[in-house]
A and B are shown apart, each in its own frame.
Chain A
């Protein structure tokens, strides 16, 4: 194995992918560590993966459906919120953890070389068991309260994958920005709190006036969650706006990798 170290050595795309593949064991190990540590010394352990989304769903359905009277189209309000929450919770967890992942590992970054993207990526991986648990729980809830499903349900996993991609894209962006400007440590939790309300979790995008609806769909999670509702309950889908959401997502994904790559180069000097 021959390594040449010089300025602007920037690996090309194929070499980058090859490198990530070579480091796959480290990715698993880091994700295992994050998962293990998350529930170390907790009494309920992974059951928190059910309690947290359930309580959030009850709270949201109370606020939006009971008080604000948002239309759930005859679907049990808690079930309605749950289907949005599973994607949102995963997304916000990954973004929250991912944003700080580089800063918290600065000791490692200064001492050892490895593709830095493994750090935010491991957060996305470590949050998967929680996502799975909440999906299982929601499925039970769904089977109890909803009899009327169609073949569109087969698309449900696709939307879950899209929410995973959204989580990775945004956390790559924020983790890299956070290295340059620590302000993002304050911006991100705040943005996520706002996101909980401006993403149609306990309501549908139909509540928003048609002229302004496209603004909501600039948020990729809006597209993802509307998609989940369409596949599970057959609710109306704005396909053009969904396309806009996915375009934004693809843009964030590609630019995120590009920007991360740029920041990664001298990260050990600036962190």
Chain B
């Protein structure tokens, strides 16, 4: 059976053995002497995945956290191996799972371009030919011979992305690296990505940003819990994903007190074009649709955010900004705007309170749940470990 697909994936599965311990010598020795393999659990990260990618196609992979997207890319880039099934790749492959892999802070920008380039699979000659272009694109200019430890994080990421952007493999695997740098650079990166997409190269793109996916891809798959839920035309796949994605349970909505009724709450990501899929670092809006049941004035709105263990994390309150709503329409939408969502990935809930003239008129605990996905809070898009709840902006220096 011959075909002209560039990438053929056939019944690919990956199973992880979850062992309690594995990294210490004592465990290995005791296991050696006991005959049974106790306590090994199996986790199917991917189950019977099959799809084909045509030459020159940009192929999107979407799905919630832990759906197997990254595992799939890791298998295709040979970082890890599948448990069963196979994938056939016709062409030179480069993968871009993170920018700046192998960068060393003691080396200069110039040296890091060569280092990173050859780690990504470019030959020295190729790098030399593209060198000026890379430096130009990054905007690093005269700092090219300065050790990168003296760079600002923005410069660092720009240089790293520029190297990656100048890869010219026949097949490119990309994981969520477009959300780096400031707005300006991001636009530039998108342009470069478009250029790559239109240059006849085959690209597999994993992203949470559905806007980017819809823009760049023709076909794709939607993965959940390791299985393909939907595949084919990207518009349809994205639609299926959005329809099946239930970010929160609205069981207790609508909800009302004697004074006010709340019919709907939406938490939307402005960064992600108004999608309900929220990522760390996104600009978000909480929209509360309400109806006044009596004439209201001096309305105080308080939102308390809790984590999965019901621990209170922070609150938003219009009192903080001396913005208590003096007049309140009969019905409308209250919007709370958060410029940069600072929560790590995970599940969260919110409590909603209204007060009028310091008297509580509405109080519902856990009125909404929401989930936060990995995102570009930091320009590097690096995420802290899951037990760190908050991300904060900070900078570093050494003297």
Q: What are the interface flags for A95-135 relative to B under an 8 Å C-beta threshold, 1 for contact and 0 otherwise? A: 00000000001011111111000000000000000000000
Flag whether B85 is at the interface (Cβ < 8 A): yes
Q: What are the interface flags for B1-29 relative to A under an 8 Å C-beta threshold, 1 for contact and 0 otherwise? A: 00000000000000010000011110010
The one of B25, B74, B106, B170 that contacts A36, using a Cβ cutoff of 8 Å: B106
Q: Which residue of A lies closest to B106 (CB)?
A: A40
Shortest Cβ distance from residue B15 to the other chain A in the assembled complex, whole angstroms: 10
Flag whether B146 is at the interface (Cβ < 8 A): no
Using a CB–CB cutoff of 8 Å, the interface residues on chain A facing chain B are 1-7, 9, 25-26, 29-30, 32-33, 36-37, 40-41, 105, 107-114, 180-183, 265-266, 268-270
Shortest Cβ distance from residue B5 to the other chain A in the assembled complex, whole angstroms: 12
Q: Could you say which residues of chain A place their CB within 8 Å of the CB of B75?
A: 5
A to B CB contacts below 8 Å, 15 in the list: A2-B89, A3-B78, A4-B86, A4-B87, A7-B84, A9-B81, A26-B118, A36-B107, A40-B106, A109-B79, A110-B79, A111-B97, A111-B98, A111-B101, A182-B24
Shortest Cβ distance from residue A18 to the other chain B in the assembled complex, whole angstroms: 15
Please give 16 more A-B residue pairs, beta carbons under 8 A apart, in addition to A5-B89, A182-B24: A2-B90, A3-B89, A4-B88, A5-B81, A6-B85, A7-B84, A25-B123, A26-B119, A33-B104, A108-B102, A112-B79, A112-B119, A112-B120, A113-B77, A181-B23, A268-B74
Distance A2 CA – B89 CA, assembled complex (angstroms) = 6
Q: What are the interface flags for B153-165 relative to A under an 8 Å C-beta threshold, 1 for contact and 0 otherwise? A: 0000000000000
The one of A1, A4, A182, A183 that contacts B92, using a Cβ cutoff of 8 Å: A1
B88 and A25 contact, CB distance less than 8 A: no
Shortest Cβ distance from residue A265 to the other chain B in the assembled complex, whole angstroms: 6
Q: Which residue of B lies closest to A41 (CB)?
A: B106
When A110-B79, A114-B119 are in contact, do A3 and B24 touch as well, CB less than 8 Å? no
B81 and A265 contact, CB distance less than 8 A: yes
Q: Which of A1, A5, A41, A268 has the most CB of B within 10 A?
A: A5
B79 and A29 contact, CB distance less than 8 A: no
9 closest cross-chain pairs (CB), A and B: A6-B86, A113-B78, A40-B106, A5-B87, A3-B89, A29-B118, A111-B97, A181-B25, A268-B80
When A108-B119, A113-B77 are in contact, do A6 and B124 touch as well, CB less than 8 Å? no
B91 and A1 contact, CB distance less than 8 A: yes
Residues B323-349 near A (CB distance < 8 A): none
Flag whether B217 is at the interface (Cβ < 8 A): no
Flag whether B379 is at the interface (Cβ < 8 A): no
Distance A32 CA – B16 CA, assembled complex (angstroms) = 36
The one of A33, A180, A268 that contacts B28, using a Cβ cutoff of 8 Å: A180
When A29-B114, A33-B115 are in contact, do A266 and B124 touch as well, CB less than 8 Å? no
Q: What are the interface flags for B94-106 relative to A under an 8 Å C-beta threshold, 1 for contact and 0 otherwise? A: 0101100110101
A113 and B95 contact, CB distance less than 8 A: yes
Flag whether B234 is at the interface (Cβ < 8 A): no
Flag whether B60 is at the interface (Cβ < 8 A): no
Q: Could you say which residues of chain A place their CB within 8 Å of the CB of B23?
A: 180-182
B101 and A5 contact, CB distance less than 8 A: no
Distance A4 CA – B91 CA, assembled complex (angstroms) = 11
Q: Which of A26, A110, A114 has the most CB of B within 10 A?
A: A26
When A1-B91, A268-B80 are in contact, do A112 and B24 touch as well, CB less than 8 Å? no
Distance A33 CA – B170 CA, assembled complex (angstroms) = 28
A268 and B107 contact, CB distance less than 8 A: no
Residues B128-174 near A (CB distance < 8 A): 147, 170
Q: Could you say which residues of chain B place their CB within 8 Å of the CB of A113?
A: 77-79, 95
Distance A36 CA – B106 CA, assembled complex (angstroms) = 8
The one of A2, A7, A33, A109 that contacts B82, using a Cβ cutoff of 8 Å: A7
Flag whether B298 is at the interface (Cβ < 8 A): no
A268 and B106 contact, CB distance less than 8 A: no
B86 and A29 contact, CB distance less than 8 A: no
B24 and A183 contact, CB distance less than 8 A: yes
Q: Could you say which residues of chain B place their CB within 8 Å of the CB of A4?
A: 86-89
B106 and A108 contact, CB distance less than 8 A: no
Distance A26 CA – B115 CA, assembled complex (angstroms) = 8
B76 and A5 contact, CB distance less than 8 A: yes
Q: Could you say which residues of chain A place their CB within 8 Å of the CB of B87?
A: 4-6
A5 and B106 contact, CB distance less than 8 A: no
B119 and A270 contact, CB distance less than 8 A: no
Q: Could you say which residues of chain A place their CB within 8 Å of the CB of B85?
A: 6
A111 and B79 contact, CB distance less than 8 A: yes
Distance A114 CA – B77 CA, assembled complex (angstroms) = 10
Shortest Cβ distance from residue B335 to the other chain A in the assembled complex, whole angstroms: 39
Distance A105 CA – B102 CA, assembled complex (angstroms) = 8
A37 and B97 contact, CB distance less than 8 A: no
Shortest Cβ distance from residue A261 to the other chain B in the assembled complex, whole angstroms: 13
Flag whether B111 is at the interface (Cβ < 8 A): yes
Distance A1 CA – B90 CA, assembled complex (angstroms) = 6
Flag whether B83 is at the interface (Cβ < 8 A): yes
Flag whether B93 is at the interface (Cβ < 8 A): yes
A7 and B83 contact, CB distance less than 8 A: yes
Shortest Cβ distance from residue A36 to the other chain B in the assembled complex, whole angstroms: 6
Q: Could you say which residues of chain A place their CB within 8 Å of the CB of B91?
A: 1
Q: Could you say which residues of chain B place their CB within 8 Å of the CB of A180?
A: 22-23, 28
Distance A5 CA – B338 CA, assembled complex (angstroms) = 45
Q: Which residue of A lies closest to B114 (CB)?
A: A29
Residues B54-86 near A (CB distance < 8 A): 74-86
Distance A4 CA – B170 CA, assembled complex (angstroms) = 16
Q: Could you say which residues of chain A place their CB within 8 Å of the CB of B79?
A: 109-113, 268
